Amino acid sequence: MEIVLNFPCLSILLAMFSAIISSALNRKWARYLNTFVVAAVGILSAAVLWLTITANQSFIYKMGHFPAPFGNEIRFGPLEAGMALFFAVIMLLSLNGGREKIRMEIDPGKEKLYYIMINLLLSSLLALVYTNDIFTAYVFVEINTISACGMIVITEHGRTIEAATRYMIMSLLGSGLFLIGICILYDMTGHLLMEYLYTSISNLMAAGTYRIPMMVAIALIVVGLAIKSALFPFHAWLPDAYGYSTVSSAAMLSSLVSKGYIFLLIKLIYRVIGFEVFYGSRIINVLFVFGLAGMIMGSVSAIRENDIRRMISYSSVAQIGYIYMGFGLGTAAGMVASVFHILSHGATKSLLFVAAVGLTDASGGHKEFDELTGAAYRNKLAGAAFLVGALSMVGIPLFSGFISKLLFAQSAIQSQGKALPALIVLAVSTVLNAIYFMKTVIRIYTPTDKEYEVTAFGYKISYAITLGCFILLNLLLGLFSQPITNWITQGLTILQ
Amino acid sequence: MGGNLAQNYGEVVAMILFGIGFTNLLLQKNMIKKIIGLNIMDTAVYLFLAEKGYITGRIAPIIKNGDLSPDSYINPVPSGLVLTGIVVSVSVTALMLSLTIRLYRRYHTLDLDEISTRLKKEGR
Amino acid sequence: MNHILLFPILFPIVAGIMLLTIIKYQNRKPLLVFVGTVLGVNALWGVFAMCRVSEGVTVFYLTKSLPIYFKVDTLGRLFASLMVLVWLLGGFFSFEYMKHEKNEQRFYGFYLILYGVLFGLDFSGNLITMYLFYEFMTLTALPLVLHTQTKEAVMAGLKYLFYSFAGAYMALFGVFFMGKYAKTLEFTPGGVIDPAVLRENETLFLVVALLMIVGFSVKAGMFPMHAWLTAAHPAAPGPASAVLSGIIVKGGILALIRVVFEIIGPDFIRGSWVQRLWMALSLLTVLLGSLLAFREPVLKKRLAYSTVSQLSYILFGLSLFDRQAMTGSLLHIAAHVFIKVALFLTAAAVIYMTGCKRVEELRGVGKGMPVTMWCYTIVSLGLVGIPPTSGFISKWYLAAGALHTGIPVFSWLGPVILLISALLTAGYLLPVSMEGFFPGKEYDAERFQGKEPPLLMRVPLMIFAGFTLALGLFPNVLTNILSAVADFLM
């Protein structure tokens, strides 16, 4: 059992070193190495998950020679390990589903670079999940941003470069705020490790001193991460970045990168700021309002969109809004719902992106709805997978989206004063979701006489297996949600 | 209030610089000016950190004349953070500059808004 | 042993999915044999399961507090047996009718899936299971509306979908809400919520009750959410519009009965402003539907408006919270299923044989298609409520129940509006038969010459007409059962 304790650190290092080694390999081996590393990280995380759940506690792993409070640490409990496992699984599936597209859209000389970026992304995600030190978190936030930017820009489409630039600007604004926030925290407490920060902050709050600077610092951190994860008014870069990059990038950006920041925020709320302090502040009201606005505006933009990929991207804006709405409710149940929605949305959105690319490829590469008529007959599996994803997004029972909605609604009813707006917006946003997703489903299932050149893509075995796994994952989250919510509750308790 | 500000003038300057950098990064149209704003913002944070770590009358934490007493040296951690931050900021700046070069080659302008309008006109 | 309850739900769904994906029939005959076998076998199993199983079956737990749970009770038996009958006969009718439509295999695939889903809806034993199958019913009925794939059908389908989802989410809001306050979500006559809790949050619960009532009655076409019905039902192919108008809309009514009488409890709503609003809305719909039907020239649309009106008879009966009116409502459910399915099948047979869609084209249709038109006339009389047909009995109970309650204004306004609407019903249905049999001199005799539909279409029509008469002649069998159900629910 002792050996499992090394796994989180090992998986971060594995991902990071594979990025370095990949630069010396050719594209084929870089691909193999990447697949191996992602799979290995998944297996290692599964072992850690099993250990932490059975032990029902978290572990601390000391990095280097300096003991706390000076040195750097890794900390892992069930929630962190599960999240790492989930990220690895989604990454593996997204890469596999878009593999053919990566080959088609990326210059062969640069494919290797793409896998380097993926490895870096994985290592930074793992570090964000596991780290116990806020400055390390900042560094890996930046690495995450850089690798995400590389993933967007690698297709060398005019739109993607522009989108990547906008993404970088937004992210840098966010990380600037985040950085100054943690510097102010450091200034006030003198610590960088989360436990010590937590004790100092609760002492300060109990003493009643430094209240205003504390609130400013918390606000800076929260707003910084919210900007980075594309909360509603900061989403301008998102549709272009998701809509024009290669499909694996889009799937990973929406279901991993933004979720990595959100998970970091959850960690900070529980382990640094403290649940009570956070919910005592007015910041949650701001998050609540922006979350609600995002739920509506994201869907409205999606309805107006005529491009299937951009439509799915706008739907991400709405779904991020759900997650922040869950934070804003100010209850532990709301937090559980938000964490569940991270999983559910991650699984569904990457499924939709991967399925959509099968449909567009069966329609001569067009992404406009007119051309997608009958696409589900030309690529049956992609059509079925899109249907599953759409039903889950709409919130039909048996699929994962329903459980998220259920959890959100249940926690909204418990919250004081916010129940009504939350439930109304939840219902309105669900109907809006239904409008654009069902419209698309009907469109792709309407037969047409128009002939399209059907590319070989989409009939590949690996693509089919990927879609099958995605559908299974979605049903798994929808049907057996109880163990998962139990795990989330346990994980959040241990996180504290 | 005024006395506090005068006493901590380093932090005050850092915050003002941070604000200048932030607004430049947000509002400038020209990409190069944006990047300059980014650098001002990051530098302001380093100034802030350095100001926090410095203790008047002490020297950098490099052991001199065998003096092991912590009272002679400044706090080394913020210096370490500044170094890490500089590395991050350099790499981000490099990335931004390379993106700018790409955009300039393609559209022959540094104005991001103009590029967006042109992309919208192209329709894809 | 209790798990045989799951068979009639799963078997047609599996068969339907196979028909949509794996099996490919080149000819019609094997396809029809397959569909017919599934329909028949499943009907037998369903009836067998209904008679033998009385305990509930928990399949699995969606979350700790939300089991998927099936249980058969008398209400479920009533709806399920009506559904089985219509599904069988409608299926046989469509064997002939679907000859002139494309994509038959897809039609039958969804027809079978819907068969299983409806069994699930009728057998569901708690709120969450019912909601699950309610949503699936909405979704699987959609391809039937869309079947012809014309622009009109697609628009109608979208309209249907948005209205249904809007309604379903209003109801879902209530489901979440009930989930918090109720001890259990299993259907229990009299309600599952502690009366003390109800009194404490009275306004809140009344609003939630209203939302659930309005949400579920979207399916039953109650004003102001009725517009989808008159768009979607005429757009579907003949047999599909028959089952939509006969059975699917009753799904909304079943859900409504379950929620009002077995979750919230009738005592809580009785006498509140929600009850008055409900009564007012349903009476308004009765009148509005009849008036609109009266003006409508396209036969199928006229029948759809008539459905809007007739369903609100049922809703009105329910909203009275009276034993007699409740019996009337349940009777009218049975009566309306037979009548409306028969009417839509007649319209389908006429379209199939002659291509005539508008009422004024039907002059002299009785000369060429006497059997069809006789069936039409009998069931029309039933819908108007002329003895000795089933409609008379149900309306009698409804009116008597309304008078018996003694609610101010509504106890007399209700019967008056029912009467006016019955006159309007006569006004929009009977001229078709009159002009059909007595066209006068100037009509195109050639058009209908020898156009009597084949046996496969005629026999289901005759059976439905027969049921309408039989229910009117020997009402005691059913009224005894139904008034027992009403007693049980009150």
Q: Residue C268: which residues within 8 A CB-CB, separation 6 or more?
A: C191, C193, C195, C198, C205, C209
Which of B26, B79, B88, B121 has the most A C-beta neighbours within 10 Å, making it the best mutation to test the interface with A?
Answer: B88
Which of A116, A134, A136, A179 has the most B C-beta neighbours within 10 Å, making it the best mutation to test the interface with B?
Answer: A179
**C5-39 per-residue burial string, b: 16 or more CB within 10 A, e: under 16:** bbbbbebbbebbeebbeeeebeeeeebbebbeebb
Question: Which top CATH class is B2-122?
Answer: mainly alpha
What pLDDT does A294 receive? 93
Cβ contact A495:A83 at 8 Å: no
**C67 membership: H or E segment, kind and range:** strand C66-70
Helix axes A419-444, A380-394, angle to 10 degrees: 160
* Contact residues on chain C for A405, CB-CB shorter than 8 A: 172
Residue of A nearest to B94 (CA): A146
What pLDDT does A457 receive? 55
C135 contacts A397? CB cut-off 8 A: yes
Nearest to A146 among B77, B91, B124 (CB): B91
B8 interface with A at CB cutoff 8 Å: no
pLDDT classification of A78: cutoffs 50, 70, 90: very high
pLDDT classification of A169: cutoffs 50, 70, 90: very high
Cβ contact A320:A238 at 8 Å: no
How confident is the model over C144-159, as a mean pLDDT?
Answer: 85
Cβ contact A289:A328 at 8 Å: yes
pLDDT classification of B2: cutoffs 50, 70, 90: low
Cβ contact C334:C471 at 8 Å: yes
Residue among A367, A466, A345 at smallest CA distance from A95: A466
Q: How many CA atoms lie within 13 A of C427 on its CB side?
A: 14
* Whether the predicted pLDDT of A454 surpasses 80: no
Q: Residue B19: which residues within 8 A CB-CB, separation 6 or more?
A: none
Cβ contact A284:A370 at 8 Å: no
Nearest chain B Cα distance for residue A153, angstroms = 9
* Whether the predicted pLDDT of A427 surpasses 90: no
Instruction: For chains C and A, tell me whether 3 or more CB atom pairs sit within 8 A of each other.
Output: yes
* Contact residues on chain A for C62, CB-CB shorter than 8 A: 397, 403, 479, 481-482
Cβ contact A168:A227 at 8 Å: no
Return the minimum-mean-pLDDT range out of A129-133, A178-182, C201-205, C419-423: C201-205
* Whether the predicted pLDDT of B1 surpasses 70: no
A166 contacts B102? CB cut-off 8 A: no
**A247 membership: H or E segment, kind and range:** helix A247-252
B42 contacts A162? CB cut-off 8 A: no
**pTM: predicted TM-score of the whole model, two decimal places:** 0.90
Chains in contact with C via at least 3 Cβ–Cβ pairs below 8 Å: A
Nearest chain A Cα distance for residue B123, angstroms = 10
Q: For chain A, how big is the Rg over CA atoms in Å?
A: 22
What pLDDT does A455 receive? 64
pLDDT classification of A456: cutoffs 50, 70, 90: low
Nearest chain C Cα distance for residue A481, angstroms = 6
How confident is the model over A361-371, as a mean pLDDT?
Answer: 83
Q: What is the mean pLDDT of chain C?
A: 88
Nearest chain C Cα distance for residue A465, angstroms = 18
Instruction: For chains A and B, tell me whether 3 or more CB atom pairs sit within 8 A of each other.
Output: yes
Nearest to A159 among B18, B91, B119 (CB): B119
Q: Residue A121: which residues within 8 A CB-CB, separation 6 or more?
A: A91, A144, A147, A148, A151, A252, A256, A257
Chains in contact with B via at least 3 Cβ–Cβ pairs below 8 Å: A
DSSP C264: I
* Whether the predicted pLDDT of C448 surpasses 80: no
B40 interface with A at CB cutoff 8 Å: no
Nearest to B41 among A146, A176, A186 (CB): A176
Mapping DSSP to helix (H, G, I), strand (E, B) and coil, where does residue A283 land? helix
* Whether the predicted pLDDT of C37 surpasses 80: yes
CA distance C379 to C383: 6
What pLDDT does A376 receive? 85
* 3-class SS shares of chain A: helix, strand, coil, % to 5: 80, 5, 15
Cα dist from C405 to C152, C285, C325, whole Å: 45, 21, 9
What pLDDT does A278 receive? 86
B77 contacts A162? CB cut-off 8 A: no
Q: What is the mean pLDDT of chain B?
A: 87
Cβ contact B13:B39 at 8 Å: no
Cβ contact A100:A460 at 8 Å: yes
- Which burial class, exposed, middle or buried, applies to C490 when counting CB atoms under 10 A from its CB (0-12, 13-18, 19+)? middle
C154 contacts A446? CB cut-off 8 A: yes
Nearest to C63 among A380, A398, A481 (CB): A481
Give the pLDDT confidence of C38-95 residue by residue, as tens digits: 999 999 998 888 888 878 888 888 877 788 889 888 888 999 999 999 999 999 999 8
CA distance A87 to A42: 8
pLDDT > 70 in chain A, percent = 98
C395-399: list long-range contacts, CB under 8 Å, 24+ apart.
C395/C313, C395/C328, C395/C332, C395/C422, C396/C328, C397/C317, C397/C324, C397/C325, C397/C327, C397/C328, C397/C331, C397/C479, C398/C313, C398/C316, C398/C317, C398/C325, C398/C328, C398/C329, C398/C332, C399/C328
* Highest averaged pLDDT of the listed ranges A80-84, B50-54, C228-232, C369-373: A80-84
Helix axes A158-189, A194-207, angle to 10 degrees: 60
* Whether the predicted pLDDT of A21 surpasses 90: yes
A162 contacts B119? CB cut-off 8 A: yes
Q: Residue A10: how many CB atoms within 10 A of its CB?
A: 17
A447 contacts C149? CB cut-off 8 A: yes
B22 interface with A at CB cutoff 8 Å: yes
Domain ranges of chain B: 2-122
Nearest chain A Cα distance for residue C132, angstroms = 6
Mapping DSSP to helix (H, G, I), strand (E, B) and coil, where does residue A77 land? coil
Q: Residue C466: which residues within 8 A CB-CB, separation 6 or more?
A: none
How confident is the model over A66-85, as a mean pLDDT?
Answer: 87
How confident is the model over C241-248, as a mean pLDDT?
Answer: 89
- For C330-423, strand residue ranges (E) read none
Alpha helices in C98-244 (DSSP H): 104-123, 127-145, 151-181, 195-200, 202-217, 227-235, 238-243
Nearest to A173 among B22, B85, B88 (CB): B22
Return the minimum-mean-pLDDT range out of A65-79, A397-411, C83-97: A65-79
How confident is the model over A146-168, as a mean pLDDT?
Answer: 88
Report ipTM for this prediction.
0.93
What pLDDT does A99 receive? 86
pLDDT > 70 in chain C, percent = 100
Nearest chain C Cα distance for residue A76, angstroms = 27
Nearest chain B Cα distance for residue A22, angstroms = 20
How confident is the model over C380-409, as a mean pLDDT?
Answer: 88
Mapping DSSP to helix (H, G, I), strand (E, B) and coil, where does residue A290 land? helix
- Strand duo A72-76 + C57-63: pairing: unpaired
How confident is the model over C313-320, as a mean pLDDT?
Answer: 92
How confident is the model over C245-256, as a mean pLDDT?
Answer: 91
CA distance A425 to C215: 17
How confident is the model over A103-126, as a mean pLDDT?
Answer: 91
pLDDT classification of C366: cutoffs 50, 70, 90: confident
